[in-house]
Amino acid sequence: MERAIAHMDLDTFFVSCERLRDSVLEKQPVIIGGGDRGVVASCSYEARKFGVRSAMPLRMALRLCPEAQVIKGDMEYYSKMSHLVTEIIQEKVPVMEKASVDEFYLDLSGMDKFFGCYQWTSEIAETVKKKTGLPISFALSTNKTVSKIGTGEAKPSGKLELKPLAIQPFLNPLSVRKIPMVGDVTFELLSRLGIRKIETLSQMPVDVLQELIGKNGTELWKKANGIDLTPVVQYSERKSISTETTFAEDTIDIPNIRSILSGMVEQLCYQLRQEKWLTSTVSVRIRYANFDTETKQCKVAYTSADHTLLKYILELFKKVYTRRMRIRLVGVKFTGLVHGNHQMNLFEDTEELISLYQTMDKMKDRFGAKSLGRASGFLTQ
């Protein structure tokens, strides 16, 4: 059976959310970000015309577009709107994968026997726009890669259907940058070899690409030829990651317990970033010496940043530990997970802080997850 995979993406999601609250921002250059030393979390198409891009230092963005309206951003509000869109889409499709707070994959394979897949996806997009006021674009093809590229070309507020025979002609004239797995380093490498268009890349011998790029060479060649068998993974917010420690002896050493919680948060946040997850719910669990167990949890804006989540965890511990009794076990759990790349709080974090996380993660990749961390997290039990 021929697959029918749609990719839907909310257009300039953060900006669109802000425009729902303030119509004055319509058709104005808007930048979502915070602080003079912060970075651009999102920007409107009007700002992009001046060269402004996501993750760009805010100071540079304002030099390029001094008349831009700068808004700090409200991730709690954006998370709420993301949940609303998720519910609308999830009700209407058999299989939906939430790739990030504003991006969705739908597997509509076989539905053309009952509905036209393109018409069905169009109606979903219209429903999202009608019920939320948010603009959304989509593309429909036989796989995730082609549909994601198609959505990018359809924006803003566009839609595109790519039947099998139309896929390669569609891909050929596009820049290799359009392929999701091609970052700056790979693009520069390919450019030095004279490979700038997908058509050129698709015609390269696979073994040559493997020698040049490594194990990803074959995968890159497949994508350039419109081949991607990656399945759409059913979305579920019940997924979680957690860790806990049972003490050798029951303890009332609160500073040490806080230190252990710090280490737990670092460990779990590193895992989130490695697997490209964001969490929206955090909880702390304690078990007293008499085996009574208590848990406290709270909702948070989607994130995977240690310093943000540690603050909530320590607050929850303060609330859950209400007796002057020794503790036998302590644990931390992150739930409400979605895949996403907004790993930092781009509305508050500086370029230096974001760079620090990236550098620390690279060192952990090389030397092990426990090789580096906050000093407080290294205290022994």
Q: Are 295 and 343 spatial neighbours (Cβ–Cβ below 8 Å)?
A: no
| Burial of residue 379 (number of CB atoms within 10 Å: 0-12, 13-18, 19+) | middle
Helix boundaries (H) for the chain: 13-21, 45-48, 58-64, 75-90, 117-132, 144-154, 164-171, 184-192, 198-202, 206-213, 216-224, 254-274, 306-320, 351-367
The burial of 114, by beta-carbon neighbours within 10 Å (0-12 exposed, 13-18 middle, 19 or more buried), is given as exposed
**3 state SS of 262:** helix
Query: Is the dihedral angle over the CA atoms 15, 19, 21, 25 positive or is it negative?
Result: positive
Cite the annotated binding site for Mg(2+) by residue number.
9, 102
Asked if 103 is an active-site residue, the reply is yes
Q: What is the Cα Rg of the chain in Å?
A: 23
Active-site residue among 18, 46, 103, 348?
Answer: 103
List, in order, residues 6 or more apart from 130 with CB less than 8 Å away: none
Q: What is the separation of C-alpha 112 from the centre of its chain, rounded to a whole number of angstroms?
A: 30
Q: In 3D, which of 130, 85, 5 has the Cα closest to residue 338?
A: 85
356 touches 320 (CB < 8 A): no
Separation CA 82–CA 89 (nearest Å): 11
SS percent in the chain: helix, strand, coil, step 5: 45, 25, 35
Cα of first residue to Cα of last residue in the chain, in angstroms, is 57
Q: So which residues are the catalytic ones?
A: 103
